[in-house]
Amino acid sequence: MTDQTNEAAAGQAGPASLKLRLPGIDPLLRWRFYPGLFHWLFYAALVALIYFAFAPGQRGEGNLATEVVWRLWWPGLGFLLLFGGRIWCGVCPFGGVADLAGRIMKERPAPPGVFRRLGPWLGVASVFTFGLAFLALGLEGNAGATGIILIGMTFLAFGLSLAFRGRTFCRYLCPVGLITRVYSFFSWLRPHGSTRMQGAMAVCPVGQSPASLRQPSQCQMCGVCTHDPGVRGITTTVTPVSPRLPGLQEFGRTEGVLSLLLLGLMAADSVRMTQLFARYQQFALPYLGYNYRLTVVLGVSGLVGTILLLQLCVARLLGGRVQVAGAAGTGVASAATGAAVAGDNTGVKNSSAGKALSSSFNSMAFSMLPLTLGVFLSLSLQHLWSGAWPSLQTVLLESRLIDWSGHMPPTNVYFVSIPLKLLQLALLGMGLYFSLGLARKDKRAGALSRSAVVLAAFSGFGFLFLLPMSGAC
């Protein structure tokens, strides 16, 4: 089988042809100093950020750690993912310390079975915990909590890689890695594997070589297989036109729950930047003893739970249609043998209903995925638009490159920027376009209902982004 054949098999659900292909980043992946040089640069940046997070005398607002992490890196990550795939996972300092632990402790066992069985769900739990902490603790203005998170992730990555083979933290527990995993389906940068990549799985620290995956976009581009002389490494291309849409077979229950969970967390993040959140707090605080963080936790959990419950209800309706359609197709055979299998009907029906519900839920979440990415990019644009310049001023100030004692960040005001709103709606519109395309790809019953749910979600987020938003969030 040739490379092209293998690539076509991996992306069989994509468009029939890609109109434009540009060279990828193969020279970077094969550079002798990749990713080591980037790791050391980010080690230095990590140490500096942790120092500023806990340094005495630092102002509560405008702290270098929070400005760089939450107002520059985090919103910029979405656009880096769109153009560069999971390249951040390749150069991330936490992945670097995991590789460093592997060089220190060469003989290590494989991760225990609990990681392999529950690892994806542990990752979903870590994403929810991370999102809840971000909103409830106000991480963009909480330097101490930011420093604790950076230290905790560093020790987890290093410790788990000392105990087990490979990047265990990156593969199972890292919330950033799980988020990039879902969104990487739509990256313009596409890794490609080959059946001639002998030994690729053996050297891959996360067991995600493009040669062995049905999801080549999940490659973390860590550079291990490209530097091993006995392994033919990956290749990459850039396809900004006609991006590959994933197939439903690449999308499991974990990805489905994670996609909808992210949608709920981003809905909460959007609401808190509008006056709707202030009205909710005005109502809820007296009942909760004026505990701000508790109001945020309950509000976020309630919104995320409502979205998951609504999707489950819609999936239940779609599952019933699929089950009815299947029953209609086998009605004649069932009538002929009904008396013989009457005693087994209940178990078969329950099993069929469960499979139909699970399949419909995955289909719904699958259809929503591009819109989820559009919301993520719209929110990232909001944060960059309102906070990038003050954050850069903070970096220059703390680096002693400028001397200015003005108020940073700007005061908490709700504002409307017409260019920003237009760009956000354009990103949402692109997400809607591809979501409707995915809804139509699944030929089973319920495509129109999935399209209606996608349109409803688009309308809800469109309404939120049209409202005046605070530049301080």
| pLDDT tens digits, 46-76 | 999 999 999 876 655 678 888 889 988 999 9
pLDDT band at 448 (very low <50, low <70, confident <90, very high): confident
Does residue 194 sit within a domain?
yes
Name every residue whose Cβ is closer than 8 Å to that of residue 133 and which is 6 or more positions away in sequence.
139, 145, 149
Same domain, 89 and 150: yes
Q: How many domains does the chain have?
A: 2
Structure tokens at 471: 């530049």
Mean pLDDT for all residues in the chain: 78
Q: Which domain holds residue 218?
A: 26-237
Same domain, 452 and 383: yes
Same domain, 308 and 447: yes
Same domain, 432 and 308: yes
Give me the mean pLDDT over the 149-158 stretch.
95
Same domain, 299 and 196: no
pLDDT in tens, 313-368: 887 877 655 444 444 444 434 444 444 444 455 555 556 666 777 778 888 888 88
Does residue 72 sit within a domain?
yes
Same domain, 199 and 313: no
Does residue 333 sit within a domain?
no
Q: Out of 38-52, 98-112, 177-191, 313-327, pick the least confident.
A: 313-327
Does residue 242 sit within a domain?
no
Does residue 66 sit within a domain?
yes
Contact predicate 139/73, CB 8 Å:
no
Structure tokens at 279: 């009205």
Quote the CA–CA distance of 55 and 273 in Å, as a whole number.
29
Does residue 198 carry a pLDDT above 60? Answer: no
Same domain, 89 and 161: yes
> How much is the pTM?
0.82
Same domain, 227 and 316: no
pLDDT score of 10:
39
Count of other CB atoms within 10 angstroms of residue 425: 18
Does residue 436 carry a pLDDT above 80? Answer: yes
pLDDT score of 13:
39
The pLDDT > 90 percentage for the chain reads 26
Give me the mean pLDDT over the 379-387 stretch.
83
Q: Which of 222, 237, 252 is the last residue of a domain?
A: 237
For residues 143-158, one letter each, b for 16 or more C-beta atoms within 10 angstroms of the residue's C-beta and e for the rest, the string is bbbbbbbbeebbebbb
Same domain, 309 and 196: no
Does residue 392 sit within a domain?
yes
Same domain, 215 and 301: no
Q: How far apart are the first and last CA of the chain?
A: 52
